[in-house]
């Protein structure tokens, strides 16, 4: 089956819509949340559990899979889906995230609030700069053994083709909200030129590997918090053609200022082709998901539901809380009494509290199952509300309850 996207229904007065993505490994009904399986595994849970919570696809990390177990092994195994025993669609990011996270030493954390810092030399305290960017590509120092590696647009495409995901992303430079405006402009042009090179190499590899299932390529839009840069990126990549092909969809990337997240997504959506899907990279908190869906994002990925689960933070309709807190030691109710996930159906808050306090592996597993079910099904309910014509009412009702009771003192930092 070739790649395609079908638009179903729109939110009146907004860019948001429902649709359906078709891939060689199956369909993805959108909007949809895509769990992150960085190293060909969603941490602490079986693939069957990921499917059971309603997930339609998973996203893995090209950079990490390049280091372990290596793209050649994945190619020999028949591709990512077969290797990890996941018979549904897969995504791979390009390695562009590591341009930022390793480059400034922040590892997995992106600052999503634009503050007073404004520097192109910013680096986390006591961290080493592990990535160096030039116009041709990026040189990485492996976080595993210190060995040096080179990523270019062409190498990123070669790695991702061998990994074999249904949807790949073009190689881009991810900047921070603290970079100067001048650097953001230079970076945007660098990413535009890299996008052209990705299209050329993607075409060459697609022809060379014609016996393999087709892999879709999404261009990635940067521009930080600047409207003109975001719109320019969307116009440039939305109309871009090279080697006789164009992008199959688009990734809305970069560190996005959370205070205007929906507005930034809208800027890009207004400039992009309506007949191609849009993926919002690295966004997974409930309020942010509503903002993204309302303003035109079709799919999302984020490590938050799984990472927070491993620290005992769980989601509920009344907000997020840490189930390891002492107040839940004798609470024999489920995490969420209205949740149909395996965890809530079979276990109590008291049991999860015990597991986390005893440092048992099962604690993160059960919390991850619940959090994934909560977020995946929240976005599925958004999809149904769009098709039923009551998205705004659903948004008001859900966020009114979720945000009404502050649990910030219990929630883990994101």
* Sequence spans of domains, the chain: 33-258+268-284, 313-402
Annotation: CATH topology of 33-258+268-284: TIM Barrel (3.20.20)
Nearest to 276 by CA among 295, 258, 299: 299
Whether 336 is catalytic is no
Euclidean distance between CA atoms 102 and 93, whole angstroms: 15
Per-residue pLDDT tens listing for the chain (414 residues): 589 999 999 999 999 999 999 999 999 999 999 999 999 999 999 999 999 999 999 999 999 999 999 999 999 999 999 999 999 999 999 876 765 555 444 444 444 555 544 555 544 444 555 778 899 999 888 888 888 889 999 999 999 999 999 999 999 998 888 888 999 999 999 999 999 999 999 999 999 999 999 999 999 999 999 999 999 999 999 999 999 999 999 999 987 889 999 999 999 999 999 999 999 999 999 999 999 999 999 999 999 999 999 999 999 999 999 999 999 999 999 999 999 999 999 999 999 999 999 999 999 999 999 999 999 999 999 999 999 999 999 999 999 999 986 444 343 332
Out of 75, 93, 298, 336, pick the active-site residue. Answer: 93
Residue with token string 């503050």: 115
Q: Are 343 and 335 in contact (CB under 8 A)?
A: yes
N- to C-terminal Cα separation, the chain: 38
Out of 166, 248, 288, 301, pick the active-site residue. Answer: 301
Question: What is the phi/psi pair of residue 238, to 5°?
Answer: -65, -30
Euclidean distance between CA atoms 134 and 34, whole angstroms: 31
Whether 93 is catalytic is yes
């Amino acid at each position: 089956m070739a790649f395609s996207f079908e638009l179903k229904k729109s939110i009146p007065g907004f860019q948001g819509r429902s649709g359906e993505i078709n891939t060689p490994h199956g369909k993805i009904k959108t909007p949809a949340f895509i769990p992150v399986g960085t190293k060909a595994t969603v941490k602490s849970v079986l693939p069957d559990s990921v499917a059971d919570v309603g997930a339609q696809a998973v996203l893995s990390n090209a950079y990490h899979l390049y280091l372990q177990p290596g793209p050649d092994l994945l190619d020999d195994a028949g591709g990512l889906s077969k290797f990890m025993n996941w018979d549904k669609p897969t995504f791979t990011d390009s390695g562009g995230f590591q341009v930022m996270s390793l480059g400034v030493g922040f590892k997995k954390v992106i600052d999503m609030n634009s503050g007073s810092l404004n520097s192109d030399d910013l680096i986390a305290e006591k961290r080493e700069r592990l990535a160096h960017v030039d116009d041709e590509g990026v040189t990485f120092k492996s976080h595993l053994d210190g060995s040096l590696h080179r990523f270019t647009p062409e190498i990123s495409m070669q790695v991702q083709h061998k990994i074999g995901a249904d949807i790949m992303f073009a190689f881009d430079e991810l900047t921070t909200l603290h970079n100067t405006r001048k650097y953001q402009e230079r970076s945007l042009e660098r990413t535009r030129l890299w996008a052209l090179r990705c299209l050329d190499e993607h075409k060459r590899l697609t022809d060379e590997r014609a016996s393999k299932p087709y892999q879709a390529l999404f261009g990635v839009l940067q521009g930080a918090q600047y409207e003109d840069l975001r719109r320019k990126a969307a116009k440039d990549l939305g109309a871009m053609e090279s080697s006789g092909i164009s992008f199959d969809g688009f990734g809305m990337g970069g560190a996005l200022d959370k205070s205007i997240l929906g507005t930034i997504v809208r800027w890009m959506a207004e400039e992009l082709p309506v007949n191609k899907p849009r993926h919002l990279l690295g966004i997974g908190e409930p309020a942010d998901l509503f903002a993204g869906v309302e303003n035109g994002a079709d799919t999302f990925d984020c490590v938050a539901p799984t990472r927070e689960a491993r620290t005992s933070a769980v989601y509920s309709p009344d907000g997020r809380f840490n189930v390891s807190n002492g107040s839940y030691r004798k609470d024999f109710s489920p995490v969420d009494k209205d949740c149909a996930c395996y965890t809530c159906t079979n276990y109590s808050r008291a049991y999860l509290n015990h597991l986390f306090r005893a440092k048992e592996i099962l604690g993160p597993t059960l919390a991850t199952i619940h959090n994934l079910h909560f977020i995946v099904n929240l976005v599925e309910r958004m999809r149904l509300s769009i098709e039923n014509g009551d998205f705004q009412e659903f948004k008001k009702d859900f966020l009114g309850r979720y945000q009404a009771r502050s649990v910030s003192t219990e929630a883990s930092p994101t």
